[in-house]
Structure 1
Amino acid sequence: MANLISSIKFTSFIYVFLLFLCPLCSLKKGYAVEANEHIKKYVHTLEVNSLLASDSCNQSSKVIDKASSLQVQHKYGPCMQVLNDRSHVQFLLQDQLRVDSIQAKLSKNSGHGIFEEMVTKLPARSGIAIGTGNYVVTVGLGTPKKDFTLEFDTGSDITWTQCQPCLGSCYPQKEQKFDPTKSTSYNNVSCSSASCNLLPTSQRGCSASSSTCLYQVIYGDQSYSQGFFATETLTISSSDVFTNFLFGCGQSNNGLFGQAAGLVGLSPSSVSLPSQTAEKYQKQFSYCLPSTPSLTGYLNFGGKVSQTAGFTPISPASSSFYGIDIVGMSVGGSQLPIDPSIFTTSGAIIDSGTVITRLPPTAYKALKEAFDEKMSNYPKTNGDELLDTCYDFSNYTTVSFPMVSVSFKGGVEVDIDASGILYPVNGVKTMCLAFAANKDDSEIGIFGNHQQKTYEVVYDGAKGMVGFAAGGCS
């Protein structure tokens, strides 16, 4: 009987213990589920092949305002129908040349003229595309209108195209070259005109024989465009036509542009397209760069802006670039321990022509270490001189990697799209973190186009703001 009573007491004790214990077990399980969901929220999981471009062109039908929108294509993508025999290593070399030229222009530690000095010392590199961007649009020039495929670049001032008779030299392009003798609206600008004086002193000259204003644009690898500064009719759409548009009629041009006929300058300068069309568009434009070169995006002037866009102020940089203030970064939902003064010391610009985002070395080190820690399940592999945090995904069908976010002044946080976090240097065998370090913390940072992909990026020059809206191309 005593044994029976003891047994009942022990069973009751176990029952009461379990009553108290089980809720605790359930609570711990709830914490685990919540933690796992938190981790999943800040991780991209996708098929590894989705990080590569396909060979077919898939054109998006989305535009913000059809009356003032142009379709955007990658200059080496299948939509351009141009044979791409260029390796990613060459693209990255081209990208570094552009960054070198930008940082020389904007160097805080140099006197005037360092860029001109640097240009004279750089060797000409035949066969390397000049650093002006990766994306093209088609616009109309002349009367009657002829369509031309031009790269667009937020870091360039002058809009220019190759012109007949190419008194110096011209490179191969997709369409026939612009012939000013066949346009009734073409006029050269005189040296004495106010329009000629809009060009920076380093970019203008005067023809001794005809007193015609001349322009010259030199890029970081010594590629260039030179010719007549002129006015012409620019056609964005049937309803958006601009007469007396100032542009460069290139007579001597050197460089490979993926067969684009020239360039559309979208900088803040007085001769850029946004400034010349300010009466209609109020210096406002936006673009969306597609997730891969096999898709299309858009470049929109004026028009409607997504209500979800978050805006950060444009900070002083120069007349040719849009300055922005980076204030922090996060990986996998966790803020990186970077002193804000690291970003304020260097400053930064946003640039449609630079591919890989450049960061102060201190910031890049924190990013690299945090990202690499969360990628410990994947084999590391060697990258190249620019991208040094790389992984071999050749034995994986799907991969998971942490989200990366960049925060800007004004409380704007941009969660980089999955397509903008890694860069395929050698297909799935070498996928690298698509950020790079500057030489030192004083060099200006650059928020590049690879990290801007799939966002509607809005430039409001009149209000002095740059905005970001997720899902801009979809």
Structure 2
Amino acid sequence: MENLSSAILFLFALFLVSPARSRVIPGDGARTTWFHVPSSIQKSLAVFPAYSQGERSLDGQKQRSHSSSAFSLPLHPRLSVRPTSERDYKSLTLARLERDSARVKSLQTRLDLAVNGISRSDLKPVGEEELQDEKLEGPIISGTSQGSGEYFSRVGIGNPPSEVYMVLDTGSDVNWLQCSPCADCYQQVDPIFDPANSSTYSPLTCDAKQCRSLQISECRNNTCLYEVSYGDGSYTVGDLATESVTFGGSASVNGVAIGCGHSNEGLFVGAAGLIGLGGGPLSFPSQINVSSFSYCLVDRDSDSSSTLEFDSVTPPDAVTAPLVRNAKLDTFYYVDLTGVSVAGKLIDMPPSLNLKDNGDGGVIVDSGTAVTRLQTDFYDSVRDEFVRGTGHLRGAGGVALFDTCFDLSNRTSVEVPTVSFHFSNGNKLQLPAENYLIPVDSSGTYCFAFAPSSSSLSIIGNVQQQGTRVSFDLARSLIGFSAHKC
């Protein structure tokens, strides 16, 4: 009996640490789908001629809201706001992937800080001499490596409102923008915001609850100072204040806590700052007290636009999944992913990768990360199944973090395996082929747009979210995915 019990315990332990298991799903529908090559290549070619005559104004573009939301912001891909400095699509791809790696590193670092129990009381105090040049010392705090921000919203700040482009980021809480006078400011599309010209700008005192909510803050002349640092060395430092924020030129919200950055450095090219959409108390959704928000990310190579909406209703045809919160880190939005299927074959996510009580592990949905990251062993199982279904395609060498690529230069349409996410409530989200087979140059090289990660944190990135309205129902703890709702 003792030997039997030992054997059962051994098998149970083996199950917990074993690599991802796979199984065929009966009646799972189509196992392959068609991918149209020429249209994708044409979009990559159009990126550069489209901007040969300079930047285009988007102020006149109209966006169609998908709800009766009172708060709706236009949402633009990065290239429609500011042209790329790269000379060809391969260089653009490599630059994007480099920024993306810095982004992922910053998210993983923030999670490590939370898991290891580092709090504000553990941080080194800032001396008065350091405050003179506003070089606050603090931990690496998650957010976006601003260079990896691929989607921008047009927002009015102050009264009268100054319209600026801001990056949206579900992995960050603190809202901020560059302000004059500038000790150190990077180049942005719009004029630098001057708080002296706004009648609603009000610096926060050091005992304000918003100041106490910062991961790190300091006090100078009874004004709250903030700092946000990112994984690639970028940072913003300045005064924390309240301001009015205007949507679509009409509706506005007063008293939003926002950082007025006088010293900003790094890859923050183009945007004036950042809208934090995370789950913490300083995030934009938390401050305006909405029960939901949603966004739709158009193809990042297009000049189309969509909307970021607050208090929006999840479409009835949405694929929903449980929205899970991390008790150690309230910023990130976790989804209860149970597996990934390729060509109808489900690869179960190992239980060891689930979100743990100590805050480690889990899967987040992130607007700032481009490429979906899966823990290495899990990724290998998904990738290997995809390779088995693409044996008829000509292989190509890997590109940066992509290890599975194909030469489709002489093809018009190709049949590829379907790829779907599976959630704990039994729902399945099937991805369009263009959301997991993406061009890396303009000559027909395509790569499988998933990547391995040595971290226990997995991330569903924005490439896999393109063309889908992603709804965060904060009241019901659900996340919804609605295809073709941009």
Q: TM-score range by the shorter chain?
A: 0.7 to 0.9
2:484 is paired with a residue of what secondary structure?
A: coil
Give the aligned partner of residue 64 of structure 1.
66
- The alpha carbon displacement at 1:359 in A equals 0.6
Structure 2 residue identity aligned to 1:308: D
Matched residue SS, 2:440: strand
- CA 1:109–1:264 in structure 2 vs 1: closer, same or farther (change >3 Å)? closer
Partner of 2:172: 156
- Map Cα deviations across residues 65-88 of structure 1 (whole Å, 9 max, x no partner): 37422221111x2x2253442621
Specify the SS of the correspondent of 2:380: helix
Give 1:108 shift.
Answer: 9.0
Does structure 2 retain, via aligned residues, the 8 Å contact 1:161–1:262?
Answer: yes
* Letter of the structure 2 residue corresponding to residue 377 of structure 1: H
Distance 1:377 1:108, change over 3 A: farther
Work out whether 1:462 is the aligned partner of 2:471: no
Secondary structure of 1:463's aligned partner: coil
Deviation at 1:240, TM superposition (A): 2.6
> Which has more radius of gyration?
1
In the TM superposition, what whole-angstrom CA distance separates every residue of 1:75-134 from its partner, at most 9, and x where no partner exists? 1x2x225344262112111111111121122139962449999x9999xxxxx9646521
Q: Which amino acid aligns with 2:66?
A: I
Cross-structure match for 1:89: 94
- The 1:93–1:344 alpha-carbon spacing in structure 2 relative to 1, beyond 3 Å, is same
Q: Residue 293 of structure 2 corresponds to which residue in structure 1?
A: 285
Secondary structure at 1:376 match in 2:
coil
Percent identical pairs in the alignment equals 34
Contact 2:314/2:480 (CA < 8 Å) preserved in 1? Answer: no
Cα distance in 2 for partners of 1:39, 1:246 equals 48
Among 192, 198, 201, the alignment partner of 1:186 is: 201
Match 1:372 to one of 387, 395, 405: 387
Q: Which of 128, 149, 153 pairs up with 1:133?
A: 149
How well do the aligned residues superpose, as a CA RMSD in angstroms? 2.9
Going from structure 1 to structure 2, the CA distance change for 1:333 and 1:62 (only over 3 Å counts) comes to: farther
Instruction: Give the residue type in structure 1 aligned to 2:71.
Output: S
CA contact (8 A) 2:40 2:439 kept: no
Task: State the distance in 2 between where 1:389 and 1:96 align.
Answer: 18
Counterpart Cα distance in 2 of 1:342 and 1:198 = 30
**Letter of the structure 2 residue corresponding to residue 455 of structure 1:** T
Which structure 1 residue ranges, 5 or more long, are not aligned?
1-36, 123-127
2-structure distance, mates of 1:327, 1:355: 21
Q: Give yes or no for contact 2:297–2:468 (8 Å, CA) kept in 1.
A: yes
Structure 2, gaps ≥5 residues long: 1-26, 51-55, 125-136
Asked if 1:142 corresponds to 2:155, the answer is: no
1:18 aligned partner: none
Secondary structure of the 1:320 match is strand
CA distance in 2, matches of 1:304, 1:197: 33
Q: Distance in 1 between matches of 2:197 and 2:349?
A: 58
Amino acid at match of 2:111: L
Contact 1:338 1:366 in 2 (8 A): no
- Matched with 2:453 is 438
Give the number of aligned pairs: 419
1:292-335 CA-to-partner distances (Å, cap 9, x unmatched) read 42132221111333111232222232111111121011112222
Per the TM alignment, residue 206 of structure 1 is displaced from its structure 2 partner at its CA by 1.3
Matching residue's letter, 1:255: G
Deviation at 1:462, TM superposition (A): 2.4
Q: 1:348 aligns with which of 363, 384, 388?
A: 363
Q: Can you list the C-alpha shifts for 1:380-437, whole angstroms capped at 9, x where unaligned?
A: 1112341101111122233332221011222221111222112322234431100011
Range with bigger deviation, 362-371 or 246-255:
362-371
| Corresponding residue SS for 1:185 | coil
Q: Please, which of 392, 409, 414 is the counterpart of residue 429 of structure 2? A: 414
Which of 211, 218, 221 in structure 1 is aligned with 2:229? 218
Aligned residue in 2 for 1:175? 190
Letter in 2 for 1:348: V
Judge conservation of contact 2:295–2:471 (CA < 8 Å) in 1: yes
Q: Which structure 2 residues correspond to residues 311-460 of structure 1 after superposition, within 5 A?
A: 311-317=320-326, 318-336=329-347, 339-343=350-354, 346-439=361-454, 443-460=456-473
**Structure 1 residue 239: deviation in Å?**
4.9
Q: Are the equivalent residues in 2 in contact too, given 1:188–1:230 (CA < 8 A)?
A: yes
Distance 1:364 1:191, change over 3 A: same
In the alignment, the residues of structure 1 paired with residue 113 and residue 239 of structure 2 have an alpha-carbon distance, to the nearest angstrom, of 33
Letter in 2 for 1:306: P
Q: TM-score, normalization: structure 1?
A: 0.81
Q: Which amino acid aligns with 1:305?
A: T
Within 5 A, what are the aligned runs for 1:244-283? 244-278=255-289, 281-282=290-291
